[in-house]
Amino acid sequence: MTQRCDALVVGGGPAGSTCAGRLRQAGLNVIVIDKATFPRHKVCAGWITPSVVESLELDVDDYRRSRTFQTISSFRTACLGGRTVVIDYGRPVSFGIRRCEFDEYLLRRSGAALELGEGVKSIERRGGDWIVNDRLSSPLLIGAGGHFCPVARRLGRRREIEEVVLAAQEIEFEMDGRQQAECRVAPEAPEIYFCEDLKGYGWCFRKANFLNVGLGRLDRRQISSHVADFCRTLQHYGRIPQSLSEKFRGHAYLDYANSPRELLDDGVLLIGDAAGLAYPQSGEGIRPAVESGLMAADVVVEARGNYGRGRLADYEERLGKRFGRRDIRSHAQNPSFPDIRRKLGRMLLSRRWFVRHVVLDRWFLHRHQKPWKPADFTARDAADLV
């Protein structure tokens, strides 16, 4: 005997919880299954842009009452070993959250039925339904299980080319009194340091008394030694404490330009990291996770119970309009920067104008893109669906 629902979401991160919440608002009976129990740790710096707050319609006062919500108003950037540029916006332009708190808050807020602590082990198609783990069934399966999502594995890739992953390592811990005294990172001013070969960047980010240090690269070779060198440099210049309380943890994910994954099929859609949607220049993945969750929910509602591939295809169109066309070859075939481009890049990264208007405003903050607003569901939409 299986437990049936209108939509089964695999993964309760920001993509899954956002999509589940929207589908619940439209009157669907939704189950989210996740292998973790929440709160759970997620390797992430926890930087969110204002559009995330807006798209999620986050009640900031409620959220920050008992959770970390760090305001960011400036940035300190440099190429490792190069000149430091400080850009002060004079007002909040981003926020810092802790993923263990943020993800749990969104998941509980979604109103979906939760099946936590159970990994997806089997996915079968029987008749028009998806059967997961032999006990949950639904005509609609949403793959939101992050980079290693089992639904993405089942859908496969559009072209059998190697996936070029963003590899990253991170540490987050609460500083004790001594560590706080040694840490010169200001909470409202995260620090970003580009690798000399421009294949990635490191960060140190203080959220109240929590310190997050990490480094991500579009080249996973020797990531641990890049991280160790980065920490030594920060400690040498007295930016972070001499002793760090945790061990670095790593994770990989795909940026939108490099993801060859299939995004949908009959009765199934991928969202967030499962689809490989992070912004290529910054690696920001929470915003695309939230936006894709909302887009997928809109397409599902408009499909009015007919989840054939043709009816869901609009999801891919909407992603293309929002994030641009995928050009999978560009990075995959040219992962290295010629010397001349590296020199030019380093020179530009020491110029205030370039850092402010291109690196921060465009690549990291996406200020040219308005927040994604979900479609309004009418009472009739909801009545049609149940």
Ligand X SMILES: Cc1cc2nc3c(=O)[nH]c(=O)nc-3n(C[C@H](O)[C@H](O)[C@H](O)COP(=O)(O)OP(=O)(O)OC[C@H]3O[C@@H](n4cnc5c(N)ncnc54)[C@H](O)[C@@H]3O)c2cc1C
Cβ burial, residue 29 (10 Å; 0-12/13-18/19+): middle
* Beta carbon nearer to ligand X, 116 or 332: 116
For residue 193, the minimal CB distance to ligand X (Å) is: 14
For residue 9, the minimal CB distance to ligand X (Å) is: 9
For the record, the structure tokens of 172 come out as: 């987050």
Who contacts 329 (Cβ-Cβ below 8 Å, separation ≥6)? none
Distance CA(71)–CA(356), nearest Å, equals: 18
SS3 (DSSP) at 101: helix
* Beta carbon nearer to ligand X, 35 or 67: 35
- The one-character DSSP state at 169 is E
Q: Which residues bind ligand X (CB under 6 A)?
A: 10-16, 33-36, 42-47, 119-120, 144-146, 148-150, 168, 170, 214, 216, 251, 253, 272-274, 278, 283-287, 289
Distance CA(386)–CA(191), nearest Å, equals: 49
For residue 380, the minimal CB distance to ligand X (Å) is: 30
* Beta carbon nearer to ligand X, 230 or 385: 230
Residue type, 372: W
Q: Which residue is nearest to ligand X (CB)?
A: 285
Contact 154, 74 (CB under 8 A): no
* Beta carbon nearer to ligand X, 45 or 218: 45
For residue 87, the minimal CB distance to ligand X (Å) is: 18
- C-alpha closest to that of 14 among 77, 34, 4, 5: 34
* Beta carbon nearer to ligand X, 167 or 349: 167
Who contacts 237 (Cβ-Cβ below 8 Å, separation ≥6)? none
For residue 214, the minimal CB distance to ligand X (Å) is: 5
* Beta carbon nearer to ligand X, 192 or 385: 192
Who contacts 317 (Cβ-Cβ below 8 Å, separation ≥6)? none
For the record, the structure tokens of 102 come out as: 């943020």
Distance CA(164)–CA(215), nearest Å, equals: 17
Task: Give the Cβ contact number of residue 163 at 10 Å.
Answer: 16
* Beta carbon nearer to ligand X, 56 or 144: 144
For residue 229, the minimal CB distance to ligand X (Å) is: 17
For residue 234, the minimal CB distance to ligand X (Å) is: 16
